[in-house]
């Protein structure tokens, strides 16, 4: 192709020496899904289902959910799509699931925790997802948000399997889940690191409060060390760990994450080409070197410089 002067990418996530790292889209609406597909996403690493229901006052019916999910899955027939079950609460309350105000909503009943008291809501969503998968031919897997323990992961995976969904995993966005990743991998097919919440919880720094934003920097070595634990557990288990937080959208950091053992990166459509093009320019041992440098750094700035020197 003729050079446009802009970063170019052929739509397959792979390093210059052939190491595969899937480059996927984060989506919430049919428009997002079309934009991700048009920008070359190999699939979807995070479909945020709660986005459709932020103003709903009642639980959507299974038929409504089925149609809504199918509209998002449609551009990805034959491709992998990870559908996240409702992440209600904290910054995204749903009035039919989170009616009571909480003193610390980020630490309260959000994500999968909502389902422990109301499993029938989860089961109806899983049924709608399974139907939408059949309707569209997308290779659908499901994952649960805000999972703290392997026992919670096991509870979710069993419900997903009962709904006829073959592939089920969980997000790792609570430090406890990262620290026990080996046990989590015993019960799931895959994990996806939610670095936005993982940073919030590891630094005890609210992601919505600008005054503590410097702590929520995804280049923080403490966050990267948790990612490294999960990457090592993934390698030991022979199962994939992805990243679907904002960290995956930074091309240099994407290389660091790959070097830490992450095998897929999911991001907004606008970031796909930049990340895909950067991966295509580097060798995997440079990613590993960048990862080692960033892990050992004293602060985010030093981590970034160390990574850049290797890349």
Q: What are the residues binding Mg ion (CB under 5 A)? A: 173, 194, 197
What is the rounded CA–CA span in Å between residue 141 and residue 189? Answer: 9
For the bound state, the minimum distance from the C-beta of residue 48 to Mg ion, rounded and expressed in Å, comes to 9
Contacts of 227 (CB under 8 A, 6+ apart): 178, 193, 195, 243, 257, 260, 262
Q: What is the 3-class SS of 220-245, one letter each residue?
A: CHHHHHHHHHHHHHHHHHCCCEEECC
Of 142, 150, 199, 244, which residue is the catalytic one? 244
Using CB under 6 A, pick the residue from 196, 239, 283, 302 that binds ligand PEP: 196
To the question of whether residue 110 is assigned a binding role by annotation, the answer is no
User: CB–CB of 207/186 below 8 Å?
Assistant: no
To the question of whether residue 292 is assigned a binding role by annotation, the answer is no
> CA distances (Å), 10 to each of 4, 35, 46, in order?
14, 16, 21
Using CB under 6 A, pick the residue from 59, 189, 197, 250 that binds ligand PEP: 197
For the bound state, the minimum distance from the C-beta of residue 193 to ligand PEP, rounded and expressed in Å, comes to 7
Closer by beta carbon to ligand PEP, 13 or else 111: 111
* Polymer length of the chain: 311
In this chain, which residue has its C-beta nearest to Mg ion?
197
Closer by beta carbon to Mg ion, 68 or else 194: 194
To the question of whether residue 84 is assigned a binding role by annotation, the answer is yes
Residue 250 makes contact with ligand PEP by CB under 6 A = no
Torsion sign over Cα 228, 230, 235, 236: positive
Tokens of 302: 């030093």
Closer by beta carbon to ligand PEP, 115 or else 244: 244
Question: Per-residue x/- mask for ligand PEP, residues 51 to 90, rule CB under 6 A?
Answer: ------------------------------------x---
Residue 46, beta-bridge partner list: 26
- CA 61 to centroid of chain Cα atoms: 26
Q: Which residues bind ligand PEP (CB under 6 A)?
A: 46, 48, 87, 173, 194-197, 244-245
Binding residue numbers for phosphoenolpyruvate = 48, 84, 196-197, 207
């Amino acid at each position: 192709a003729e050079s446009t002067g802009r970063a170019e990418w052929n739509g397959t996530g792979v390093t210059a020496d052939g190491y595969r790292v899937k480059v996927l889209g984060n989506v919430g609406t049919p428009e997002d899904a079309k934009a991700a597909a048009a920008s070359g996403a190999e699939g979807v690493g995070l479909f945020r289902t709660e986005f459709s229901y932020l103003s709903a006052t009642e639980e959507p019916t299974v038929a409504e959910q089925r149609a809504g999910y199918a509209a998002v899955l449609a551009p990805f027939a034959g491709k992998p799509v990870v559908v996240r079950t409702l992440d209600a609460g904290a910054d995204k309350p749903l009035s039919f699931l989170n009616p009571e105000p909480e003193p610390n909503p980020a630490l309260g009943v959000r994500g999968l925790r909502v389902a422990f008291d109301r499993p029938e809501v989860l089961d109806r969503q899983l049924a709608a997802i399974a139907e939408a998968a059949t309707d569209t031919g997308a290779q659908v897997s499901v994952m649960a948000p805000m999972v703290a323990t392997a026992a919670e992961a096991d509870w979710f995976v069993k419900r997903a399997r009962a709904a006829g969904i073959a592939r089920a995993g969980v997000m790792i966005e609570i430090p406890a889940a990262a620290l026990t990743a080996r046990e989590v991998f015993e019960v799931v097919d895959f994990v996806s690191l939610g670095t936005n919440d993982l940073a919030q919880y590891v630094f005890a720094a609210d992601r919505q409060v600008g005054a503590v934003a410097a702590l929520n920097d995804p280049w923080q070595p403490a966050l990267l060390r948790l990612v490294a634990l999960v990457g090592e557990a993934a390698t030991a288990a022979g199962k994939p760990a992805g990243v679907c937080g904002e960290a995956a959208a930074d091309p240099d950091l994407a290389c660091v994450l790959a070097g830490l053992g992450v095998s897929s990166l999911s991001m907004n459509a606008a970031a796909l080409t930049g990340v895909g093009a950067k991966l295509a320019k580097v060798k995997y041992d440079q990613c590993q070197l960048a990862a080692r440098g960033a892990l050992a750094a004293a602060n985010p700035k030093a981590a970034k410089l160390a990574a850049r020197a290797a890349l």
